[in-house]
Structure 1
C-alpha cells in the first residue's frame, strides 16, 4: 500500500515491523517449500473446487486442534510441528500461551498464501501473477511488475532474528536498505529466536516489548517541538 498509494503514508507516524515478509530470496523452510514449488498446481486445484480460505471456517478446526494438542497423546506431536514450521526449538516457547493461540487461530485467504508462494518462487516482491496472457491484459507486460518499495518513506523499525526461516534476516536487511526511511534494525539477541517467538516467547516482555516500546517513546519525544 505504501509503495502504490503513497498518500496513505502521511497517516502512519512509525511502522514497527516484527519479522516482516517481503523479499523472500533466501527462503528454505523445509516444511513449506514442497508446497511453494507446486503453487501453480495448487492454484488450479483451488479454482477447480472453489477453495477460498484455509482451513475452511465451517470445519471448526480451532476446536479440533485445541482438543487434540492439549491431550497428553498429541501434545508432543503438536509441539514438534510447531517448531518444525517456525524454525526449530529456541527454548523460548511459552507453553501456556499455545492453547490460546490454537483456540483463536484465524483462517487465511488462499489467494494470499498462493501470492506468498509466487513471491518466493519468483524471487521478486511483485504483484499477483495471472499467467502471461492475462498479465498482458492487466499489466501490459508478460510478467507482473515488482512493487516499487523504494517509494516507501514511512519511518520504519525492523525487528528480526537469525533463526527465523519464514522471514530471513538477510532479506529483511535488504528491504531495510531499499526503502527510504528505515530508522532501526533490531536483531533479536537470542540467535535461536524463531518466527513464532515474536508471538509466543516466554521472554517476550523483556526481549522484545520493552525495547520496542522504549524506541517508540524515544521517537515520539524526538518529534515533539520544544514547547509541546
Structure 2
C-alpha cells in the first residue's frame, strides 16, 4: 500500500513539474510586447502613430518587406495586434513577414497600445473617451490606417486580413465609405461577424441579456471593459497558475464561449495568451452587438427614436448596406466556432456581392481561437489562407 502511495506521489509530482516547466517556457513571451516578440522571432517591427479624424492616436506596427505587397492585419474586439504574433514562429504576422510581405498590424482605439487621444484622457474622462462602437472603429480607425499604409508604401491597394469583429469593421467601412472598396485587393475575414442569430455556447446564453448588462454598466459608470491593466491583471493572477488556470480559464470559460479545441490551445500556451489578453474594449461596443442580436439586423447603433431621427433621419437605425461592400471578399469559417457560426456566415455570404472565396475549414474542431491563436495554424489554416493572400496581393 505504501509503495503504491509513493509511486503515485512520484508520478503526480513528475506531471506537476513538467507542466510547470512547460508553462515557464511561455513566460518570456507573455512578458514581451509586440515589438519584443517581433525581434525575438527574427522580424523586427517598426512603430507608427496614426491620428484619426476624431482625435484618437493609434499605434501601428510594421514588419518591413516588399512594399508592393502590403498586408494589414486587423484584430477583433478585446484583443490587440498581439494576437497575430504571440504564437511566435507559428503566428500569422511572422509567417507573412517570412514570406516577404510588407506586414502591418493595427491597434484599434482604446486598446492597450492605442489608449491615447489628442485631448481626452481615458482615465479621467472615460465617458467621453470610450464613447464609440465598432462603427467609429471602422469609419475612423480602419480608414485612417489604410490611408497611412498606402502612403508609406506608395501603393494604390492593400490586402486586409481581419478576425472576428475586425471583419465587422471591413463590412461597415465598405458600406459607409464605399470609396475604400477600391483600396482593398481582397478583404479576408477569419471568423466573420455581421449577423449573430446562431451564436452558441456561453455567448448564446449571454447575448439575450447583453442590453440589460450594458445598461447596468452605464448606470454604474463603467465605460471601459476588458482592459489590459485591470481585467488582464486579474486574469493573469487567476489563470497563470497551472493546471488550474487551464482547466478553469481555458477549458471551461474560453472554450465555453468560443468553441472547444484542446489540440489547438494547449496548457503551456495559457500564460502567453493571458500575458497579452485582453487588450481593452468598451461597454458601447457590446451594447451595439447586443442590438445586432436582438433586432437580427446588421445596423447602425440604436440611440433611441429621438436621437435616431436627429442622426439618421429615421426612427430606427438604418441597416449597413452590404450591397455596397464591393471589395473582393474571402470568408473563412470554423465548424466549432461558437461566435462566427457557419449558419450566420452563410447568411453573410449570400448578402455580400463579391465573395471570391468561401471556406468552411476541413478540421472539424476549428474554433474561434484557432484562426489567430491556434497551435496548428500551419496545418489547419495556412494551406487555405496563404494561397488566397498570394493570389490577390
TM-score, structure 2 as length reference: 0.52
Tell me the equivalent position of 1:133. Answer: 306
**TM superposition shift of 1:96:** 3.4
Tell me the equivalent position of 2:238. Answer: 68
Aligned-partner Cα distance in 2 for 1:19–1:179? 15
Aligned-partner Cα distance in 1 for 2:285–2:180? 22
Relative contact order higher in (CA < 8 Å, ≥ 6 apart): 1
Cα-to-partner distance string for 1:163-182 (whole Å, 9 max, x where unaligned):
21101112112212221210
Cα-to-partner distance string for 1:179-206 (whole Å, 9 max, x where unaligned):
1210000111112211111122221112
State yes or no: 1:98 paired with 2:270.
yes
Cα-to-partner distance string for 1:42-98 (whole Å, 9 max, x where unaligned):
343233233221134552x32332232121333311122111111234532243333
Aligned-partner Cα distance in 1 for 2:332–2:343? 12
Matches for 1:167-182 after TM superposition, within 5 Å: 167-182=340-355
Tell me the equivalent position of 1:37. Answer: 208
Tell me the equivalent position of 1:164. Answer: 337
Cα-to-partner distance string for 1:70-128 (whole Å, 9 max, x where unaligned):
21333311122111111234532243333222111101121111111110111100000
Tell me the equivalent position of 2:185. Answer: 13
Name which of 193, 218, 221 aligns with 2:391. Answer: 218
Runs of at least 5 residues in structure 1 that lack an aligned partner in the other structure? 221-228
Kindly tell me the number of residue pairs found equivalent between the two proteins.
218
**TM superposition shift of 1:146:** 0.6
Aligned-partner Cα distance in 2 for 1:58–1:193? 30
Cα-to-partner distance string for 1:132-172 (whole Å, 9 max, x where unaligned):
23222222222111100111111111111112110111211
Tell me the equivalent position of 2:175. Answer: 3
Runs of at least 5 residues in structure 2 that lack an aligned partner in the other structure? 1-172
Rg (Cα) greater in structure: 2
Aligned-partner Cα distance in 1 for 2:229–2:359? 40
SS of the residue 1:200 aligns to: coil
SS of the residue 2:372 aligns to: helix
Change (3 A) 1:41 1:182: same
Tell me the equivalent position of 2:73. Answer: none
TM-score, structure 1 as length reference: 0.87
Tell me the equivalent position of 1:208. Answer: 381
CA RMSD of aligned residues (A): 1.9
Q: Which moved more, 1:175-184 or 1:90-99?
A: 90-99
Tell me the equivalent position of 1:223. Answer: none
